[in-house]
Amino acid sequence: MSTPGSSPSDGVGAEPAVLLLRLAGPLQSWGDRSAFNRRDTRPEPTKSGIVGLLAAADGRARGESLTDLTALRLGVRVDRPGRLLRDYHTVSDYRGRPLPQAGVTAKGLQKPTSPPKLTHVTTRFYLEDAVFVAGLAGPRDLLERLEKAVRRPAFPLALGRRSCVPTQPLCLGLRDGPLEAALTTEPWQAPERVQRRRDQPRVDLRRVDLRVVLDDPDTGEDRVYDVPTSFDPRARAFTSRRIRHAWLSVPTTVQHNRAATDPGDADSGHDPFALLGW
């Protein structure tokens, strides 16, 4: 069995197993860059965020090696993109003191702002009501341990930021075969009320086309800098990876019958959230 920080086996390329995670919650935020007064979010989970979630579940300290986790091939399926939420955020010292600036003294202490600044305004962005399915392909023994860790995590898990708590189920389990096959056969994870919004006469509700982002070092058309090499707070470091964008035809969980395909059917039920656009 692999140990934290050990090198991955040769089975990574063969992808003998895939661990599927359902990343859903009221709020998510997956930033790959940030400034003092602005925290953005990517439209889908980053590799650094997912590796951080797995490392926390596995009980790893921030200074431990991440080599075996970053070597896992990642694919993220966008089951529900959610809505972008902008948070107006202020920072102040509860003691009423002026906020410090970036500059430091000869003793290594931060200098106070001049003129004194008591409140700092920041802008933070979140994804609201989003749902993703993340697949991680690699050695089965490592993924089996990670599956157990996610189900009984050593540290609290979060969707990008500590305040973003995931809903259940978080772990969908292990699958055999290639990564893309696992993401194609796993049913759509959006709430059923969202799936039924597609219900129009003569529309096949059994499948839906969903966007997916895949690790692809050979033919990936984009490059993103979200692969962590260290989470040490004194020496955080990242490198890049190449990704490929694609679409997958995925089965839904809506029953293919008259109640599902005919919105005028009396047995189809009343959706109290319909007027809210959910």
Instruction: Kindly give, in sequence order, each residue whose CB lies less than 8 Å from that of residue 117, ignoring residues fewer than 6 positions away.
Output: 98, 99
Q: pLDDT at position 266, please?
A: 38
Contact in structure between 22 and 133 (CB atoms under 8 Å): yes
Whole-number pLDDT of residue 208: 92
The predicted pLDDT at position 25 comes to 95
Note the pTM of the prediction, 2 decimals.
Answer: 0.79
Q: Within 10 A of 65 (CB to CB), how many other CB atoms are there?
A: 16
Domain ranges of the chain: 11-84+127-186+209-251, 188-206+252-278
Specify the pLDDT at position 271: 56
Rounded to whole angstroms, how far apart are CA atoms 24 and 45? 11
Q: What is the predicted pLDDT for the residue at 108?
A: 79
Q: What is the pLDDT of residue 270?
A: 57
- CATH level 2 (architecture), domain 11-84+127-186+209-251: 2-Layer Sandwich (3.30)
Per-residue pLDDT, 32: 77
Q: List the chain pLDDT tens, one digit each, 278 residues.
A: 444 444 443 334 445 899 999 999 999 999 877 766 788 999 999 999 999 999 999 999 999 999 999 999 999 999 999 999 999 888 888 888 888 877 778 887 888 888 888 888 888 999 999 999 999 999 999 999 999 999 999 999 999 999 999 999 999 999 999 999 999 999 999 988 888 775 544 456 788 999 999 999 999 999 999 999 999 888 889 999 999 999 999 999 876 544 444 444 434 455 555 555 55
User: What's residue 13's pLDDT?
Assistant: 44
CA within 13 Å, CB half, 8:
21
Question: What's at 157, amino acid-wise?
Answer: L
Neighbours of 149 (CB within 10 A): 20
Give residue-wise pLDDT tens across range 194-244.
887 755 444 567 889 999 999 999 999 999 999 999 998 888 899 999 999
pLDDT value of position 240: 94
Residue 263 confidence (pLDDT) = 46
Cβ neighbour number for residue 242 with a 10 Å cutoff: 15
Question: Is the four-CA dihedral 45, 48, 51, 55 of positive or negative sign?
Answer: negative
Give the C-alpha separation, 252 to 32, whole Å.
31
